[in-house]
Chain A
Amino acid sequence: MEKKFSLKRLFEFYDEVLSLPHKQEIARELRDEDDLFLLLVYSDMLGIPNPAFYYTLELYPHIIEKFHDWHLRMGMEKSPLDGIRCC
């Protein structure tokens, strides 16, 4: 259904046009931070000693869904961990 034209909608549209690249860049920055965090979480399984490993184990259920995209972004076509067979 066509929405009614209003000045508010016009401004929202204008803002959306202009903030498109900016939102993208912020999303990229946040993803980079997340990627680093995931590396820290998986570090022990990748062979980098992590004293907090015991605690990060608790996070697994929360981040396991992101794992596949993460290893693809990190340039590993197949899952680097035997324990996680996502692909």
Chain B
Amino acid sequence: MSGIWLAVVGGLIFFLGYRYYSKFIAEKIYRLDPNYVTPAHQYKDGVDFVPTNKFVLWGHHFTSVAGAAPIVGPAIAVYWGWLPAVLWVLLGTVFAAGVHDFGTLVLSVRNKGQSIGTLASKLIGQKAKVLFLFIILLLVLMVNAVFAWVIANLFISFPASVLSVFIQIPLAVWIGYSVYKKQGNMLLPSIVALAVMYLAAIVASYVPVLQIDLVRYFGGEGASTLFGLNATSMAFFVWIVVLMVYVYIASTLPVWKLLQPRDYINSHQLIVGLGLLYLGLLFTNPEITAPVTNASADTSWFPLLFITIACGAISGFHGLVSSGTSSKQLNKETDARFVGYLGSVGEGALALVAIIAVVTFFPTAEEFTATYSGFAAASGAGLGVFIQGAGQLASGLGIPASVAATIVSVIVVSFAATTLDSSVRLMRYIIAELGTEYKVTPLTKTHVATTVAVVSSAALTLIPQGPKGFGSGGYLLWPLFGTSNQLLAGISLLLVSIWLKRQGRNYLPTIIPMVFLMFMTLWAMIDQVVTEWAPWNEGSDWMLFTFGAIILVFTFWILITAVSAISGNRNDSIEKSA
């Protein structure tokens, strides 16, 4: 079967979901009112609260939520065959992610544009705020560890991409500075920056001297280096140290200096990436060679699939964006459907093309099975296969596959690096807030909080070790990342459900995905913690066991809170509207 069919069927399901299901949700469940005065108008201040055109807002919302995560998860999950992954991405986007992103946006709009954290303490109680802070802390810690691992591994596997990624930093600083000081336009300089980066990627693909290949510098694979580490482990260790130093500096700078210009360049990259993949798919018309399902999987797809693909099917992080910024800029309440629902559809489309790139890459099913020989092997190799698969798709546009693979790896690393920057920044804020909450004054200082964030993230990336030493064990964290993201989505869906119930409306469309997510999370974590990570198992891991156990406690906590909040009749200051 041609890969194009997957894209066509996926596109059709997304279209039907938006056209009919989101319309039903908008009219019958959330009951959007075109005359409601949105926070953007009510509190208009020209900074946070700005009424914005819905197309512009959707573009901004989509570029904020799309990143490397909807690529990594699907690239691993095709291990169970392409059908389960595709079904979860399509149905998850239509019935869970769309409702979640749309719902958090509406809930926030109906409550002065407040964020999910504030709404949690208003709807559930003060304790919820602390629970919420801890869940986000867990999520950002996982994000830091996983993305640092992703970047270091890609630097080792695709050394030609390193130069472009490092060139992006001074270019971004230059753009940020020139726009801030000289009030210039960002479009032209950022396109020039992108051109310079891609030129560097193309040149580096052909000139080995420009490929910063640490493994080669340390004597090639298998060579032993300092502290008894082999060259690959040493390279991984060095990259993690470099990344952590970078991220420390980047996350303590004002956002306009580095983060925002980087984001701006990355938005071009998102469009280039999606264009390359979908156009390449059209021109190459590749056959799907991966099996439909994998009958001999060493780990069951149920329930692990639902936490392996988090972003792309449903992601709690979107609720933070919906309620944090988008809700303050919504011009009319009826625009929420377009911005929120279609924002998640955009991310679903990215996840879908990531699946297509992987399942069409191998010439035969046997080769696919040889690479995806087990869940651990799939987790380690998935992203690399995606990049090569994307390179192969792009070769349909006349770009040599190796150059295209380098460009795609630059795109993925850029996304991951920006996510890392934002997430360390977020972690610093949360640590400071917890410091204030529990009166630990040193934690409220920027550099103390950043040091705690960076050191704990580095430790989490380096400690879990696989058979090849450092860097081969980081994939173990991926399910933990998925789970903490799903927990956050669960809590957001719970808040929307409580709100709907208090309005006397049907809350099944939000509570069903919430229960489904919590059930899958609970099952997957119990399975992993009890049968793999616990001390009584062979190959047990104390750190993963601890994190898994913490996540389990949080899940139970949310479920108990959910039951008591849904069954209780607390009346509070939450806005009542028809």
- A and B: interacting chains: yes
B186/A21 in contact, CB under 8 A? no
Residue of A18, A20, A24, A27 with most partner-chain B CB within 10 A: A18
Residue of B at shortest CB range from A11? Answer: B187
B260/A25 in contact, CB under 8 A? yes
Residues 180 to 231 of chain B near chain A (Cβ within 8 Å): 180, 185-187, 190
B57 contacts across to A, CB distance below 8 A: 20
A20/B186 in contact, CB under 8 A? no
Range of interface residues on B (Cβ < 8 Å):
20 to 34
Given A15, A27, A28, A31, which contacts B186 in the complex, CB threshold below 8 Å? A15
Given A25, A31, A69, which contacts B255 in the complex, CB threshold below 8 Å? A25
Given contacts A11-B187, A15-B186, A31-B47, contact A22 B260 (CB under 8 A): yes
Residues 5 to 40 of chain A near chain B (Cβ within 8 Å): 11, 13-22, 24-29, 31
A13 contacts across to B, CB distance below 8 A: 55-56
Q: How far is the CB of B314 from chain A (nearest CB, A)?
A: 24
Residue of B52, B60, B63, B190 with most partner-chain A CB within 10 A: B60
Residue B50 CB within 8 A of the other chain = yes
- Separation of A26 and B254 alpha carbons in the complex (Å): 11
- Separation of A69 and B48 alpha carbons in the complex (Å): 14
- Separation of A29 and B176 alpha carbons in the complex (Å): 13
Residue B263 CB within 8 A of the other chain = yes
A20 contacts across to B, CB distance below 8 A: 52, 56-57, 60, 329
Residue B572 CB within 8 A of the other chain = no
A15 contacts across to B, CB distance below 8 A: 185-187
A24/B50 in contact, CB under 8 A? yes
Residue of B at shortest CB range from A27? Answer: B47
Q: How far is the CB of A29 from chain B (nearest CB, A)?
A: 7
Q: List 25 A-B contacts (CB under 8 A).
A: A14-B187, A15-B185, A16-B56, A17-B55, A17-B56, A17-B63, A18-B190, A18-B267, A19-B187, A19-B264, A20-B56, A20-B329, A21-B263, A22-B186, A22-B261, A22-B264, A24-B47, A24-B48, A25-B255, A25-B260, A27-B46, A27-B47, A28-B48, A31-B47, A69-B45
Range of interface residues on A (Cβ < 8 Å):
10 to 19
Given A18, A27, A28, which contacts B63 in the complex, CB threshold below 8 Å? A18
A21/B60 in contact, CB under 8 A? yes
B255 contacts across to A, CB distance below 8 A: 25
B256/A26 in contact, CB under 8 A? yes
A19 contacts across to B, CB distance below 8 A: 186-187, 264
A11 contacts across to B, CB distance below 8 A: 187
Residues 15 to 62 of chain B near chain A (Cβ within 8 Å): 45-48, 50, 52-53, 55-57, 59-60
Residue B111 CB within 8 A of the other chain = no
Contact with A along B246-276 (1 / 0, CB 8 A): 0000000011100011011001100000000
Residue B13 CB within 8 A of the other chain = no
- Separation of A22 and B59 alpha carbons in the complex (Å): 14
Given contacts A22-B186, A22-B256, A25-B255, contact A17 B60 (CB under 8 A): yes
Q: How far is the CB of A62 from chain B (nearest CB, A)?
A: 18
Residue B325 CB within 8 A of the other chain = yes
A18/B46 in contact, CB under 8 A? no
Given B45, B47, B256, B264, which contacts A18 in the complex, CB threshold below 8 Å? B264
B50 contacts across to A, CB distance below 8 A: 24
B47/A28 in contact, CB under 8 A? yes
B47/A21 in contact, CB under 8 A? no
Residues 380 to 394 of chain B near chain A (Cβ within 8 Å): none
Q: How far is the CB of B401 from chain A (nearest CB, A)?
A: 29
Given contacts A18-B187, A21-B325, A26-B180, 16 further A-B contacts (CB under 8 A): A13-B55, A13-B56, A15-B185, A16-B56, A18-B59, A18-B60, A18-B264, A19-B264, A22-B186, A22-B261, A25-B255, A25-B260, A26-B179, A27-B47, A28-B48, A31-B47
Q: How far is the CB of B198 from chain A (nearest CB, A)?
A: 18
- Separation of A16 and B186 alpha carbons in the complex (Å): 10
B45 contacts across to A, CB distance below 8 A: 69
Q: How far is the CB of A35 from chain B (nearest CB, A)?
A: 11
Given contacts A13-B55, A26-B180, contact A21 B260 (CB under 8 A): yes
- Separation of A29 and B180 alpha carbons in the complex (Å): 10
Residues 52 to 86 of chain A near chain B (Cβ within 8 Å): 69
Q: How far is the CB of A7 from chain B (nearest CB, A)?
A: 13
A29/B267 in contact, CB under 8 A? no
A14 contacts across to B, CB distance below 8 A: 59, 187
Residue of A13, A20, A27 with most partner-chain B CB within 10 A: A20
Q: How far is the CB of B60 from chain A (nearest CB, A)?
A: 5
Residue of A at shortest CB range from B265? Answer: A18
B261 contacts across to A, CB distance below 8 A: 22
- Separation of A22 and B260 alpha carbons in the complex (Å): 6
Residues 261 to 317 of chain B near chain A (Cβ within 8 Å): 261, 263-264, 267-268
B180/A18 in contact, CB under 8 A? no
- Separation of A42 and B223 alpha carbons in the complex (Å): 68
- Separation of A28 and B190 alpha carbons in the complex (Å): 22
B59/A17 in contact, CB under 8 A? yes
Residue of B56, B267, B325 with most partner-chain A CB within 10 A: B56
- Separation of A31 and B46 alpha carbons in the complex (Å): 10
- Separation of A22 and B254 alpha carbons in the complex (Å): 12
A17 contacts across to B, CB distance below 8 A: 55-56, 59-60, 63, 267
